[in-house]
A = this chain, B = another copy of it.
């Protein structure tokens, strides 16, 4: 495993990855599955871990492998309200047994869900449904360009917004292998750990956004706006302090730009402090994009927008999405919203996340490799360093910690420009009872690596 610290653009997709050379050490069944994958799915498909996990069953924040071994899932935010949640299972079953069709016929479900969803987003009036966060962002980037006449989007330096051609070209985390859009402006994320405070990080972010705007305007590209994940997940989870990025966002608006809040990561109550990540920062975006957790495993995604911003695109382009907004997708999405409220998952995320980070900070007092513990609700980053004063990224060690966690039946991954930040993003079904197990596993993993 490569232990060289990388200095940026470590793909979010190769931080925690099985390598072909690991195959020889696998038991026969895993080796067979790995070989069939390579033959049938080709080289783009990656696996987590040196010893990949064959997950066959899930429930709540727990999954089981083919041998019946149970794991604590601290990573998956698709099964956000809990793996195989019965409310979603039954809602999908009932609707799929009744009707699944497109939006060229009238159906009440899409309207009921649209009303419910938009009710959580004051300031936004309309929503379009798609199948993935990638499709949502592809649409958002075009809507914003049409609304402003500008070409230039601003994004953060390790951002990942999806896999279509247009969105890949606006995902700087892929810039090692993908050509970026010629008009894209890249800014550093607000890293309170390295800037020393959220205030300083917010000021640096504001300054970087100002330079990007002025450059976009000066070159004639014109400003389209900014697209950002307000938890800066791929950048290393920079939740900072509420309001930290508000001034930068105001500046984009002052220059006529469109603000796209990509809520694929922080949305649906995860940060605990607000239902949407952008609300935690007191922002008013023009467009909000949704993906992964929206259907708890059923493919559904959306782009909500201010009417005035959507209108130039939507009235001119005959955009249609066959599966988007089907009654089954809406049934899944409605069940997710209902469960978040009924089980008070946002409040639980807030409380549980605070407990978790308190325990992790206590652990940090005994382990100098933990340089920083940060987060909000059930979204936590643990930055590992080889030197606390110099804040030197412990990239290779972080990857080994992951493997050690996996051996201790705790699933997670890494993020950030040097893949040195443990990304703890469990299903919201994760409870305070799960905290000791995670912290003990991490303590054991750190002892094994450092």
Residues of A with Cβ closer than 8 Å to B? 11, 13-14, 30, 33-34, 36-37, 39-48, 52-58, 63, 76, 78-79, 83-84, 86, 88-89, 92-93, 96-108, 110-111, 114-115, 118, 125-128, 131-135, 138-139, 141-142, 163-166, 168, 174, 177-178, 291-292, 296-300, 305, 307, 310-311, 313-323, 325-326, 328-329
Closest chain B CB from A321 CB (angstroms)? 6
Contact A84 B99 (CB under 8 A): yes
Expressed in whole angstroms, the minimum distance between the Cβ of A316 and any Cβ of chain B is 5
A-B contacts, 8 listed (Cβ < 8 Å)? A40-B126, A44-B310, A44-B317, A48-B104, A54-B106, A135-B164, A165-B166, A177-B316
A57 CB contact (under 8 Å) in B98, B106, B132, B316: B98
Q: Give A262 Cβ to nearest chain B Cβ, in Å.
A: 13
User: How many copies of this kind of chain does the complex include?
Assistant: 2
Complex CA gap A99/B78 in Å reads 11
- Which residues on B sit within 8 Å (CB–CB) of A165? 138, 141-142, 164-166
Instruction: Determine the chain B residues whose CB is within 8 A of the CB of A311 once the complex forms.
Output: 42-43
Per CB-CB distance, the 6 closest pairs between chain A and chain B, nearest first, are A100-B297, A13-B318, A44-B314, A165-B166, A54-B106, A299-B323
Tell whether, in the assembled complex, residue A97 and residue B105 are in contact, meaning their CB atoms are under 8 Å apart.
Answer: no
Chain B residues with CB below 8 A from A84, complex form: 96-100
Contact check, B319 vs A100: say whether CB atoms are below 8 A apart. Answer: no
Q: A40-B126, A311-B43, A318-B174 are in contact. Are A52 and B106 (CB under 8 A)?
A: yes
On whether A105 and B48 interact (CB within 8 A), knowing A93-B93, A322-B292, the answer reads: yes
Determine whether the beta carbon of B128 is less than 8 Å from that of A131.
Answer: no
Instruction: Give A436 Cβ to nearest chain B Cβ, in Å.
Output: 25
- Cβ–Cβ contact A89 & B78, under 8 A: no
- Which residues of B lie under 8 Å from residue A30 when comparing CB positions? 106
Q: Does A55 contact B99, Cβ atoms closer than 8 Å?
A: yes
Within 8 Å CB of A328, what residues of B? 297-298
Roughly how many angstroms separate A45 CA and B129 CA in the complex, as a whole number?
Answer: 10
**Is B114 in contact with A40, judged by CB distance below 8 angstroms?**
yes
Which B residues touch A115, using CB under 8 A?
A: 36, 40
- Closest Cβ of chain B to A428, distance in Å, is 16
A291 surroundings in chain B (CB, below 8 A): 322
Q: A57-B98, A106-B55, A108-B33 are in contact. Are A326 and B297 (CB under 8 A)?
A: yes
A177 vs chain B, min Cβ distance (A): 5
From B43, B318, B321, contact of A11 by CB (8 A): B318
